[in-house]
Amino acid sequence: MNFPAVPCRSLAHAVTYHKNMTMHLTVLDHPLVDHKLTVLRDKNTPSNIFRELVSELVTLEAYEATHDLAVEDRPIETPVASATGRHLAGPKPMVVPILRAGLGMLDGMTRLLPTAEVGFLGMRRDENTLDIITYANRLPDDLTDRQCFLLDPMLATGGTLVAAIKYLKERGAKDITAIDILAAPEGLDRLEKEVDPSIDFKVVVCAVDEKLNDKAYIIPGLGDAGDRLYGLAE
């Protein structure tokens, strides 16, 4: 008996945010994502539940973000026969959480991609000037041919992400995917203008929100992701 192949439904839909946008933006579109994101936004959600939800959402985002991972054929022996499967090709993908809030996304990413190598990039936004300050890094000097995944919960002004992408590019990275929980239109605008078009650059988010306020917080957003992850929010 022949069974027709049924296409698997994606968790997401691709969005062209601007007609001339060179990056690929993917927004998750699924009832579970909507539910988890609603609880995440609620100011009454305690930090332990907030951390769990971030991890779960990142795992769902990672499923979409890793569609283009390089694979190669590998012969194997099952208990009953020889077979050829597909295996992740080298070099290992590089997962780079942007400290500190990006660290709260690492568990959700490595749950789906446990063989990835992990680096760290410490960047923060000056609350007065909004300039990006790099205070720590732990990355290989050569990222040539590595598929890189940047983790940062909030794509607000886009400044941190632009600086991180430049940092990776200087080390040879050409395939970079940013995974964020929320994005603001202003941040997407900045990425469109400032990211080198020679980079194969993709963004995966759970939602694109309305705007930034005068303090560069995403509206409606979810507040300060770092403070809420680590129990420092009021």
**Hey, what domains does the chain have and what are their CATH numbers?**
12-71+88-229 (3.40.50.2020)
- Higher pLDDT residue, 27 or 123? 27
pLDDT > 70? residue 13: no
Dihedrals phi, psi of 71, to nearest 5 degrees: -130, 165
Q: Which one from 78, 129, 141, 214 is the annotated catalytic residue? A: 129
Mean pLDDT of 60-66: 95
**Banded pLDDT at 132 (limits 50, 70, 90):** confident
Mean pLDDT, the chain, whole residue set? 88
pTM (predicted TM-score): 0.88
Q: How far apart are CA 100 and CA 46, in angstroms?
A: 19
Distances (CA, A) of 117 to 157, 176, 183: 28, 14, 26
**pLDDT value of residue 80:** 96
Please state which of the ranges 26-35, 63-72, 78-87, 224-233 shows the lowest mean pLDDT.
224-233
**pLDDT value of residue 27:** 95
**pLDDT value of residue 191:** 95
**pLDDT value of residue 232:** 67
Other C-beta atoms within 10 Å of 138: how many?
Answer: 11
Q: Which one from 29, 110, 124, 125 is the annotated catalytic residue? A: 125
**pLDDT value of residue 20:** 45
Query: 18: phi > 0 → left, psi -120 to 50 → alpha, else beta; which?
Result: beta
**Banded pLDDT at 135 (limits 50, 70, 90):** confident
Q: Tokens 């022996």 belong to which residue?
A: 77
**pLDDT value of residue 158:** 92
pLDDT > 60? residue 90: yes
- Per residue in 140-149, pLDDT tens? 999 999 999 9
**pLDDT value of residue 7:** 45
- CB burial of 65-88 (b: ≥16 within 10 Å; e: otherwise) equals bbeeeeeeeeeeeeeeeeeeeeeb
Mean pLDDT of 16-23: 53
Mean pLDDT of 195-199: 92
Mean pLDDT of 122-149: 84
**pLDDT value of residue 17:** 47
CB of 88 closer than 8 Å to CB of 115: yes
Mean pLDDT of 90-118: 93
171 is catalytic: no
Please state which of the ranges 43-52, 136-145, 173-182, 225-234 shows the lowest mean pLDDT.
225-234
Dihedrals phi, psi of 56, to nearest 5 degrees: -65, -40
227 is catalytic: yes
Q: Which one from 29, 107, 189, 227 is the annotated catalytic residue? A: 227
Q: In sequence order, which residues have a C-beta less than 8 Å from that of residue 136 and are 6 or more positions away?
A: 99, 120, 121, 122
Q: How far apart are CA 160 and CA 183, in angstroms?
A: 13
